[in-house]
Amino acid sequence: MLSEYIFWFLSFVAVFSAAGMIFSKNPVYSVLSLIVTFFAVAGHYFLLGAQFLAAVHIIVYAGAIMVLFLYVIMMLNLNELEEEKKSLYTKALSFFAGGVLMLVLIAVVRRTEELQLIQPAVYNADLGLTQHLGKVLYKEFLVPFELASVLFLSAMVGAVYLSKKDLA
Amino acid sequence: MDSMLIYKALLTVGVFAVSLGIAAYLTWGERKLAAILQDRVGPDRAGPFGLLQPLADGVKMLMKEEMIPSKANKWLFIFGPSFFMLTACMTGAVIPWGSGITVDGVVYPLQVTDINIGLLYLLGVVSIGVYGIMIGGWSSNNKYSLLGALRASSQMISYEVAMGMALIALTMITGTLSLGEISRQQDAGLANVVYQPLGFLIFIICAFAETNRAPFDLPESESELVGGYHTEYSSMKLGFFLFAEYINMFISSAVMATLYFGGYNFPFQHELGLEGNTLAILQTAALFIKIAIFIFVFMWVRWTLPRFRYDQLMNLGWKVLLPLSIANIFITGIVMWALGKLN
């Protein structure tokens, strides 16, 4: 019962801070709202028993990526007056793209209910613990895991190359 | 079960109070130690040996006029120091302060919560701690504050990476992320620093950088940035920033003692013939002695070494500590493989 209340509370916080991120005029407020959203989502991971995912979510997204976002925004010192005005055409296109993405997500959520991918009777609650996750990742899904790491590595090399280009 | 819940609540308040009390007296200790190292007397007016100085400082901080710059973002200006203080106090929850007191056959653990992602929790809290400084520095609407905040954020992100890598090598040996379990393992075997000397060295350097202590105190370097991120702060909001630094120092000393120097265990503790609660109290005392030694090192370094230049700081973080910590992971792996400890 308690976890249900926590679920509703976290969902409320997540939705409202996400809306705040989009609607606030000041980019710093946007970043701060997004951080609150990340915390609410991490709370959901905790409720689902995925402790490792929750902790890494906080460390990577809230603790590293958003710090860099905030860094850049503070450095540029953006404010609402300097905000680039977008044309009606761009706005309509982004609205369309966002709507399509939302449709896809709703379809996926509906399908999971029909397919019954998660069966509470046989669900292993310890699955999200670090030890289990490590064993699954490094034994059952070793090749996809390593492929993902190679992808990350190439992205890193690309980022370094792009930042060095001006020097050459 | 209810008595356990009440006990945990009391323990939380206790850890909080002890952190604050120790942090208050660290300001006194820092000034005394600086005085000794510089051949001065130090604070000696308030009470014997100046022991009431922290109280006098606290009253001074509270009574001073609250100033909020007219061009500052008011809410974020207050939020910054409050958040910094909050994150400083949060880490104490996962540190095992002792093995546990037994009353009427019920063991009361001296650890607020032994979550099995304790190490990740520590890293997470440390990584969000930088927001306090960043928001405080930005909302002041002052060039010097902003520069201090930018320095703090890039410094903390850079050193977090090496710190995490050092902890990965430690986790390979211990096989757990729970701080309680790491302490218990060091009771059975040797302290982790014996197996991870390089890892400890990297960790302590990163701890200096994460707490913004000299020689890494560039975010507030008073000789170039006036006061860095807290230039515009006065009264208790400034007090929070300064105070949180001492809490961070205390907590990171406790973390180093727990992870690398045996936690609350001390050598030959089972040969003394002591049982139960007497041993537990001695163990807690041992942990606090270790913490005191680390805090002494923190202060000693501050009053001995000059500050780094900013490019030196970045080079040390990315070009020295990060490769060393990755090499440390490889060496640990190879040694464990050679000893047949991998399964």
Average pLDDT, chain B: 84
Domain boundaries defined on chain A: 1-83, 84-114, 124-168
Q: Which of A92-96, B16-20, B79-83, B277-281 has the lowest mean pLDDT?
A: B277-281
Residue B127 to residue A130, Cβ atoms within 8 A: no
pLDDT in tens, A45-69: 888 878 888 888 888 888 888 888 8
Contact residues, chain A, for B131 at CB < 8 Å: 35, 67, 70
Structure tokens at B66: 């609250």
Q: Does position A168 have pLDDT exceeding 60, yes or no?
A: no
Residue with tokens 């890598």: B165
Contact A59, B127 (CB under 8 A): yes
Rounded to a whole number of angstroms, the CA Rg of chain B reads 21
- As a whole number, mean pLDDT of residues B78-85 equals 89
pLDDT in tens, B279-332: 888 888 888 899 999 999 988 888 888 888 888 888 888 889 899 999 999 998
Please state the separation of Cα B122 from the chain's center in Å. Answer: 10
How far apart, in whole angstroms, are the C-alpha atoms of residue A63 and residue A109?
29
Which one of B130, B149, B164 has the shortest CB-CB distance to A74? B149
Whole-number pLDDT of residue A166? 67
Closest residue of A to B145, CA-based? Answer: A74
Residues 60-99 of A with CB under 8 A from B: 62-64, 67-68, 70-71, 74-75, 77
Query: Which of B190 and B302 is assigned the larger pLDDT?
Result: B302
Residue B124 to residue A68, Cβ atoms within 8 A: no
pLDDT in tens, B118-154: 888 888 888 888 888 888 888 888 888 888 888 888 8
**Residue B103 DSSP SS3:** strand
What is the enclosing helix (H) or strand (E) of B101?
Answer: strand B101-103
Q: Is residue B343 part of a domain?
A: no
Contact B215, B208 (CB under 8 A): yes
Contact B150, B141 (CB under 8 A): no
Whole-number pLDDT of residue A99? 94
pTM: 0.85
CA angle B9/B15/B18 to nearest 5° reads: 135
Number of helices (H), then strands (E), in chain A: 7, 0
How far apart, in whole angstroms, are the C-alpha atoms of residue B207 and residue B210?
5
Interface confidence (ipTM) of the complex: 0.81
How far apart, in whole angstroms, are the C-alpha atoms of residue B42 and residue B50?
8
Which of B323, B253, B262 shows the shortest CA–CA distance to B294? B253
Residue B115 to residue A51, Cβ atoms within 8 A: yes
CA distances from A65 to A58, A69, A81 (A): 10, 6, 26
Residue B127 to residue A58, Cβ atoms within 8 A: yes
Give the count of domains, chain B. Answer: 1
The residue segments making up the domain with residue B243 are 2-338
Which residues are within 8 A (CB) of B146 and not within 5 positions of it... i.e. 6 or more apart?
A74, A77, B137, B138, B140
The verdict on domain A1-83 having CATH code 3.40.50.280 is no
Q: Does position B197 have pLDDT exceeding 90, yes or no?
A: no
Whole-number pLDDT of residue A123? 65
Which site among A2, A36, A58, A69 would you substitute to test the B interface, given the most B Cβ atoms closer than 10 Å to its Cβ?
A58
Which of B22, B202, B5, B196 shows the shortest CA–CA distance to B112? B5
How far apart, in whole angstroms, are the C-alpha atoms of residue B265 and residue B288?
11
CA distances from B263 to A140, B270, B290 (A): 36, 15, 8
Q: Is residue B113 part of a domain?
A: yes
Residue A51 to residue B123, Cβ atoms within 8 A: no
Which site among B116, B125, B127 would you substitute to test the A interface, given the most A Cβ atoms closer than 10 Å to its Cβ?
B127
